[in-house]
Structure 1
Amino acid sequence: MQDIRTQAGFAMTPDELKTFHTQGYFGPFKVYEIDEMKAAWRRERLRLMDRSNAVYQEEAASSGNTNISNYDRHLDSTFLADHVSRPEIVDRVSSVLGPDVLCWRTEFFPKYPGDEGTDWHQADTFANASGQPQIVWPEDEEFGGTITVWTAFTEANEETGCLQFIPGTHQTMFYDETKKMHYDPDKINAEEKDGVRRGFFGYDYRELQKDPDWKPDESQAVSMVMRPGEAILFWSTLMHASLPHSGRTDEMRLGFASRYVPTKVRVYPDTDVIEEYGGRVSLDRYGSVLVAGHNGNPHNRIATATTTGHPFVTR
């Protein structure tokens, strides 16, 4: 896709927005050159091993090999802090969400050789693991979810376990997030579903189905093959999953997801902790990042700089 834009930046065109609203995702699009991304990851993966400035400390480590320990490293990493505010990302997100935008969470999604795929799932309030809503849209909105921008830091293809989407499923929730899944670490790498080895970080996402007999129509699934430095933008309410890592290559697949909402959305309302995936972390040092516009919502805590003092950029 051509990424040479006018001085207006990387805002989505009317045709791109129409396609996005129909299918629930947009891209892939380029954020970094391939060599630029490879060099950045060689450098940053060593720096990220140092968690001394991370906002989640001992409690995150106690969660073991679960995804909660991969949350919000943009709050201590200069590279990731700049990444979440890159115009290639924020201009497109603002095209969908409007001028006032928060980045409320980031997550690493590593997939090592032999790792299972991820179950088909949707997320609206992100209460799926804990039962506690983590984002809440105004009451006059039926449901909202978040815009996720998933950036490939390494090769993401059908061999290494790329994302899959079922286009057009973002307008209907097939899962009830008021139910609560039951965490069982023994479920990791434990089950084959319809010929594909999938799980959900120690949960069974099918526990949230509104209709226990319903199955996603995998015949409509589209694989999101991405080179290092490319990204895909999608509604979290879009039905999405990932394939297993075949193990036929030694390269880890690594994606970095940054999640965005309008400032009118309440982030982590009425709670001071995140509790899921067998772990618990305090939100004492947490803050959302204003990546575009202005924040008129007094309910949300805002971080203006990383824990090491690097200022966040607001577009």
Structure 2
Amino acid sequence: MIDSAIIHDRRGYEYPWAEHAAHLISDRDLRPTDHLVLPEIKAAQLARILVPRGLKYSIFVQNGYYLRDRDRGCTDDDVDHAYQNASAILSISEDTSSLISLHYPDLTSRIVRVFCSVDDSVFNVDGKKRNLVTYMPRKNGAHAAAVVFALKKRLPPGWEIRAIDGMNQTEVAALLKESRIFMSFSGLEGLGLPPVEAALCGNYVIGYHGGGGREYWASPNFEEIAVGDLEAFVRRVEARAHLLSNSVDDLAELEPGMARLRANFSKANELDALQRFVDRLKEDPPSTATPLPAVGSTPIRLQKRMRLGWWLALRRVRARKRPSA
């Protein structure tokens, strides 16, 4: 068991869209022996505070294309300073690891590959397929609109196209279980999960891997389209739809790929990677931090006060969750 807690950017904030049992603390609760894991987009800002204090931290890079992202007032030097002083750099994908090494070749030995899990009790095949193409319009929306416009004229009779937008996880999974083709318009992604979820629901996934998805983008479950090649995109989806219209609804050829995805995105794989990270920290030199200032002194400032709007919104969410008498 790993003793851990969450510090949010805004003091007192809780995620209203996800249930969790994680312990929430504030920056006032930090101990000299604590080890912080920072998101890459906050690393430059927070490292300027943590390094002078002697507090140890690692950086979790969920998107290698965001390495230079930082808060207003931070510079490229601040970004470099954050990575140079990190105990470890957690990477979500092979593509992200390569990008970290590209920017910081001298820090390659600090990279720890981690994995995320996809709940296969939610994303799976239940045998309710119909002639449906699904996609998410949020990424590369202009590409998606152009492809959909063309496909409406070219898909075989009886086929439908549905956008997955503004839905919760249960609704997304239900639609993916019905569809037979999922179109991926991923942008620059650290590791895009919607294509994985679609494939686990028995879809043929056609489109962009976004960089991070390259490691799992294997035929027949996935078909790659070069970014911007909209004609090829339309013709490949059209061809797949015609094949599926003239064949028995048999997912046998997809099962080996689905099995690989279930193994790669399993909770066990995720926990094994986190344990490797914790074991790595045991080899790290001890913190040089001194006890944090007592009450009445100037505390370490990692968090902002929650805005009134957020506070009121959370009260409404919690009220809706409260069981009735």
Q: Shorter-chain TM-score: which interval?
A: under 0.3
Q: Of the two structures, which has the highest relative contact order with CA contacts closer than 8 Å and spacing of 6 or more?
A: 1
Task: Judging by fraction of residues, say which structure has more helix.
Answer: 2
Using structure 1 for the length normalisation, give the TM-score. Answer: 0.25
Q: Mark the structure with the bigger radius of gyration.
A: 2
Using structure 2 for the length normalisation, give the TM-score. Answer: 0.24
Task: Judging by fraction of residues, say which structure has more strand.
Answer: 1
